[in-house]
């Protein structure tokens, strides 16, 4: 008896399962034919739309999907295919969006690394420096792409027969200046001929020629053999004239004396004009930086300097240049700055530009600046 009841129970379960399978099959068939009919309706309307619009000409494609019952399958299909269909809205004249103004560059750029390892034993080529600085444009110019600098800086280097030093200077300074978010241009002021060298006069020439190139408002004057050892020594202008190279290795990383203003310095355009630029009459080595210091203090300004741990520099060792011997008149001239600074300076500058050549990493300006006056005979 128990076996008979168990068999009937299993039979009923099998029939129920079979019935459920049949219902499931019917539902699937209904859904299948429903979707198939909708897709067929879409493509037929798509083809009808193309045929109806062929008479309008080749440049106007309009498709009519307004008829037919709305359903979620059809809506989702249009949503996924919307980018494939031409817009039914007439095109409007869209003006390009105005680019957002760049934010000001930070006072202390976040990409600075601090103390730098400076060495001069590796061979440097200009091609290598150019590859390492692809964002520097013709003439040795660079502007940060992600912020707006508050100053435009011209870096001016007095120059003659120092090609190897220049390679090292460009190799180290371009990356430093880019990390400092400086908008800058580099100007090499090359004194032609073999007459006595005149550093300060070349710096006056650099100031004048740089302003012909762009509206610079800050001027950094640097010797080509001095490399900063810390990129936190920011190459821009300050409220007071700036002396950057305060701790050179040749002086034991100390300031040699309180009035020293040599090596690397910076003045704004306003500060430079206030002191009538630099003296033109210091022919040979020495004295002109002390004269500049006197001009600054005599005009009521003070020299600002970085921390001694940041203002460290390495000098490329070299023999003294030919025709740049010490100026025997420098001490008497320094004592007479107060009387000479109004008539000797940017206001009395005379020179002749021979050539201006813009290279990938710098602008070279070759000039003739004349000769020193004959020295008075002794006795």
Q: Is 41 helix (H, G, I), strand (E, B) or coil?
A: helix
CB within 8 Å of 326: residues ≥ 6 apart? 284, 285, 286
Q: Of 69, 131, 320, 375, which one is the catalytic site residue?
A: 320
Residue 225 among the catalytic residues: yes
- Kindly name the residue from 209, 225, 230, 281 that is annotated as catalytic: 225
Contacts of 313 (CB under 8 A, 6+ apart): 226, 227, 228, 229, 244, 245, 247, 248, 249, 263, 264
Active site residue 318: yes
Q: Which residue has the tokens 């209904």?
A: 30
Annotated active-site residue in 209, 231, 281, 288: 288
Contact 308, 253 (CB under 8 A): yes
Annotated active-site residue 321? The verdict is no
Residue 289: active-site member:
yes
Active-site position among 209, 223, 231, 281: 223
Which pair of structure tokens corresponds to residue 58?
């080749």
Options 12, 318, 342, 352, the catalytic residue: 318
Q: Is 315 a catalytic residue?
A: yes
**Residue 7, phi then psi, degrees to nearest 5:** -65, -40
Across 30-163, the runs of DSSP E, i.e. the strands, are 141-142, 152-159
Active-site residue (options: 229, 248, 315, 341): 315
Catalytic residue among 231, 289, 290, 344: 289
Catalytic residue among 195, 285, 309, 325: 285
CB environment 180-209: b (16+ within 10 A), e (fewer): bbbbbbbbbbbbeeeebbbbbbbbbbbbbb
Q: Is 288 a catalytic residue?
A: yes
Catalytic residues: 223, 225, 285, 288-289, 315, 318, 320
């Amino acid at each position: 008896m128990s076996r008979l009841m168990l068999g009937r129970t299993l039979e009923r379960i099998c029939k129920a399962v079979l019935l459920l399978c049949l219902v499931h099959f019917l539902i699937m068939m209904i859904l299948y034919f429903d979707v198939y009919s909708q897709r067929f309706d879409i493509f037929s309307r798509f083809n009808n739309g193309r045929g109806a619009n062929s008479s309008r000409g080749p440049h106007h494609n309009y498709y009519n999907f307004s008829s037919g019952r709305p359903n979620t399958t059809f809506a989702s299909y249009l949503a996924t295919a919307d980018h494939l269909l031409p817009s039914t809205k007439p095109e409007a004249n869209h003006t390009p969006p105005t680019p957002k103004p760049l934010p000001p560059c930070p006072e202390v750029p976040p990409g600075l690394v601090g103390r730098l390892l400076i060495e001069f034993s590796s061979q440097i080529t200009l091609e290598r420096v150019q590859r390492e600085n692809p964002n520097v444009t013709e003439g040795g110019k660079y502007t940060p792409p992600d912020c707006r600098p508050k100053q435009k800086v011209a870096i001016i280097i007095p120059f003659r027969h120092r090609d190897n030093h220049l390679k090292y200077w460009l190799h180290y300074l371009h990356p430093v200046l880019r990390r400092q978010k400086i908008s800058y241009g580099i100007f090499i002021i090359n004194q032609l001929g073999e007459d006595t060298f005149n550093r300060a006069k070349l710096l006056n020439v650099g100031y004048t020629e740089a302003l012909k190139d762009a509206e610079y408002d800050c001027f950094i004057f640097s010797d080509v053999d001095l490399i900063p050892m810390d990129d936190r020594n920011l190459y821009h202008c300050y409220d007071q004239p700036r002396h950057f190279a305060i701790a050179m290795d040749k002086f034991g990383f100390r300031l040699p004396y309180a009035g020293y203003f040599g090596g690397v310095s910076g003045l704004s355009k306003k500060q430079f004009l206030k002191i009538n630029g630099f003296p033109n009459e210091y022919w040979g080595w020495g004295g002109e930086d002390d004269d500049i210091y006197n001009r600054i203090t005599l005009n009521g300004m003070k020299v600002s300097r970085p921390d001694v741990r940041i203002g460290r520099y390495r000098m490329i060792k070299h023999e003294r240049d030919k025709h740049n011997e010490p100026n025997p008149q420098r001490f008497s001239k320094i004592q007479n700055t107060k009387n000479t600074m109004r008539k000797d300076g940017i206001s009395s500058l005379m020179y002749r530009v021979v050539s201006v050549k813009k290279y990938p990493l710098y602008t070279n300006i070759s000039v003739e600046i004349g000769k020193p006056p004959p020295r008075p005979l002794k006795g």
